[in-house]
């Protein structure tokens, strides 16, 4: 791969804006080699030069709550798909996601190590992919997608495309060990009720503290962590007290739960766009799901404010399924109504990287980091809505030093 030089001026490095007149970012062998004033580095023969002065250069974006294999809002329909069909749908979605400027995604249930290998080998031209395998649920929890009227003909538990049922601390240890043996990057649990599941109310506590701690302890043996679906304040508190690092959604959190999460050093990953998108077009969801969506959607803004006031680190995720997945960039405007543009950009870059244990590797423009970056027209720090319209405003995507999308004329040194 030939070296690549990006000439730029306005740079958001993942934490703050650098307003320079003329910088050169040198990318070589998949990493950022240097960021220096133009002309201060030795001439690089055969380097490709791209001039983005007048645009804004940023690290590649990170979606920390993504579903690669969720091609439908009907989870039962996903379960019925052949695995190869799901994989081909995942490929299409991952490739589209990269071309929206997301150079890294963290899957929240369903994607497996096979998709990671396919991406690493170039069979899928997608973002860096971090996976949990199947998410883990108790019987009758958010990941148990069996209708209430279903009577099992055997004592075996539910195991679907996105999740499987695990009951008891000993069983939890065995399943988590097996997932980690397969090479997953993190573990996903369901610790409260959810919207799409058929039998559990939102307010329901799921998994015992012993079961949660078993998953956390086993993840720690591989130097990784647990992410947990948790809508309610009590679920967030239980996550914080039992060692969960990443609390997903947090839509019903209050100030007390936010304070506990902050003290524990856990992160919260809000997902707002999915609520807005489903409210606009329910897409045939059953009445029970719509009712539950209203419960969480009406409180999400207040929960984010509680987290901000308590000093909780907020990541950035989307949680979109099926036909809604093309609205991924809508999360920027949804979050921008509640936070400053700087906060939202930090969430989608450096905070997500820290959350995932990838601080300094991704989500940053710094020497030594992975060569993942994008350039956008105008200034997203002045108007975060710039990032909500990638077809119009996204000018450049580079992943691992390789040009993925380029709407700018190239030059050579």
Separation between Cα atoms, residue 307 and residue 268, nearest integer Å: 8
Query: What are 296's two structure tokens?
Result: 């969480």
Phi/psi for 106 (5° steps) reads -110, 115
- Of the candidates 143, 175, 179, 188, the one whose C-alpha atom is nearest the C-alpha of residue 161 is 143
The DSSP letter of residue 207 is: S
Report pLDDT for 412.
35
Most distant CA pair in the chain, distance: 73
- Residue 225 CB neighbour total at 10 angstroms: 21
Q: Among 355, 353, 332, which residue's Cα sits nearest to residue 344? A: 332
Strand pairing category for 402-406 and 394-399: antiparallel
Helices of type H across 109-168:
113-120
- What does the block give as tokens for 407? 């709407």
Both structure tokens of 113:
């190590």
What does the pLDDT average to over 205-234? 98
396 pLDDT band (50/70/90 cuts)?
A: very high
pLDDT, tens digit (0-9, with 9 covering 90-100), for 155-182: 568 888 999 999 999 999 999 999 999 9
For residue 277, the number of C-alpha atoms closer than 13 Å in the C-beta half-sphere is 20
Residue 313 in tokens: 């680190």
Q: Report the distance separating Cα 403 and Cα 21, nearest Å.
A: 24
pLDDT at 411: 45
Q: Are 235 and 191 in contact (CB under 8 A)?
A: yes
**Beta strand pairing call for 4-12 and 48-51:** parallel
Distance CA 332, CA 205 (A): 30
Residue 364, classed as helix, strand or coil, is coil
Asked if the model's pLDDT at residue 289 lies above 80, the reply is no
**What's the mean per-residue pLDDT of the chain?**
92
> What class is the 4-60+364-412 domain?
mainly beta
**Domain spans, the chain:** 4-60+364-412, 61-328
Given a contact cutoff of 8 angstroms between Cβ atoms, the answer to whether 92 and 69 are in contact is no
3-class SS string, 186-204: CEEEECECCCCCCCCCCCC
DSSP at 326: G
How many C-alpha atoms does 84 have within 13 Å on its Cβ side?
Answer: 0
pTM: 0.95
DSSP 292: H
E strands in 213-331: 226-232, 246-252, 267-269, 313-314
Strand order in the sheet with 135-137: 163-165, 135-137, 187-190, 226-232, 246-252, 267-269, 313-314
Q: How confident is the model at residue 341 (pLDDT cuts 50, 70, 90)?
A: very high
46 phi-psi bin (left φ>0, alpha ψ -120 to 50, beta other): left
CATH annotation of 61-328: 3.20.20.140
| CA proximity to 285, closest of 72, 139, 71 | 72
User: Rounded CA gap, 65 and 176, in Å?
Assistant: 20
Q: Are 267 and 347 in contact (CB under 8 A)?
A: no
Of 243, 362, 262, give the one whose Cα is nearest residue 306: 262
What distance in Å separates the CA atoms of residue 188 and residue 179, rounded to the nearest whole number? 11
- Check if the beta carbon of residue 42 is closer than 8 Å to that of residue 50: no
pLDDT of residue 78 exceeding 70 = yes
How far apart are the C-alpha atoms of 100 and 405, rounded to whole Å? Answer: 9
C-alpha to C-alpha distance for 368 and 383, rounded to whole angstroms = 29
Question: Residue 45: pLDDT above 50?
Answer: yes
pLDDT at 318: 97
Q: Is the pLDDT of residue 47 over 80?
A: yes
Please give the share of the chain, as a percent, with pLDDT higher than 90: 78
Angle at CA of residue 161, ends 160 and 162, nearest 5°: 95
Q: Residue 42: pLDDT band by 50, 70, 90 thresholds? A: low
**CA 208 – CA 140 distance, rounded (Å):** 14
Mode of pairing for the β-strands spanning 61-66 and 102-107:
parallel
What pLDDT score was predicted for residue 286? 66
- At 85, the pLDDT band (50, 70, 90 cuts) reads very high
């Amino acid at each position: 791969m030939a070296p690549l030089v990006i000439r730029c001026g306005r740079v958001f490095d993942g934490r703050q804006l650098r307003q320079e007149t003329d910088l050169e970012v040198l990318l070589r062998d998949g990493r950022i080699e240097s960021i220096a004033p133009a002309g201060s580095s030795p001439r690089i023969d055969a380097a490709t030069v791209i001039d983005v002065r007048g645009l804004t250069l940023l690290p590649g974006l990170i979606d920390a709550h993504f579903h690669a294999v969720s091609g439908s809002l009907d989870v039962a329909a996903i379960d019925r798909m052949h695995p190869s069909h799901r994989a081909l749908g995942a490929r299409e979605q991952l490739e589209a996601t990269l071309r929206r400027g997301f150079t890294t995604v963290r899957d929240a249930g369903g994607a497996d190590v096979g998709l990671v290998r396919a991406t690493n080998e170039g069979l899928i031209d997608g973002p860096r992919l971090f996976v949990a395998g199947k998410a883990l649920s108790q019987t009758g929890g958010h990941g148990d997608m069996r209708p209430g009227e279903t009577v099992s003909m055997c004592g075996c538990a539910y195991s679907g495309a996105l999740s499987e049922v695990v009951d008891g601390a000993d069983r939890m240890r065995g399943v988590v060990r097996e997932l980690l043996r397969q090479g997953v990057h993190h573990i996903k649990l369901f610790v409260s009720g959810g919207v799409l599941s058929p039998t559990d109310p939102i307010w329901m506590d799921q998994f015992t503290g012993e079961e949660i701690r078993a998953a956390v302890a086993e993840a720690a043996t591989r130097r990784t962590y647990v992410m947990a679906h948790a809508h309610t304040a009590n679920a967030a508190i239980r996550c914080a007290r039992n060692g969960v690092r990443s609390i997903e959604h947090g839509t019903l959190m209050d100030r007390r739960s936010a304070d506990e999460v902050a003290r524990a050093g856990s992160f919260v990953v809000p997902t707002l766009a999915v609520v807005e998108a489903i409210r606009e077009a329910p897409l045939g969801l059953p009445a029970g799901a719509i009712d539950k969506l209203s419960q969480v959607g009406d409180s999400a803004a207040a929960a984010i404010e509680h987290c901000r006031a308590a000093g909780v680190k907020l990541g950035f995720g989307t949680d979109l399924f099926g036909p809604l997945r093309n609205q991924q960039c809508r999360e920027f405007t949804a979050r921008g109504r509640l936070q400053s543009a700087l906060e939202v950009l930090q969430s989608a870059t450096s905070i997500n990287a820290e959350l995932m244990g990838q601080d300094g590797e991704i989500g940053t423009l710094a020497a030594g980091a992975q060569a993942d970056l994008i350039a956008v027209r105008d200034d997203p720090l002045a108007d975060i809505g710039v990032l909500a319209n990638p077809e119009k405003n996204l000018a450049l995507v580079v992943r691992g030093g390789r040009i993925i999308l380029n709407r700018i004329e190239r030059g050579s040194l």
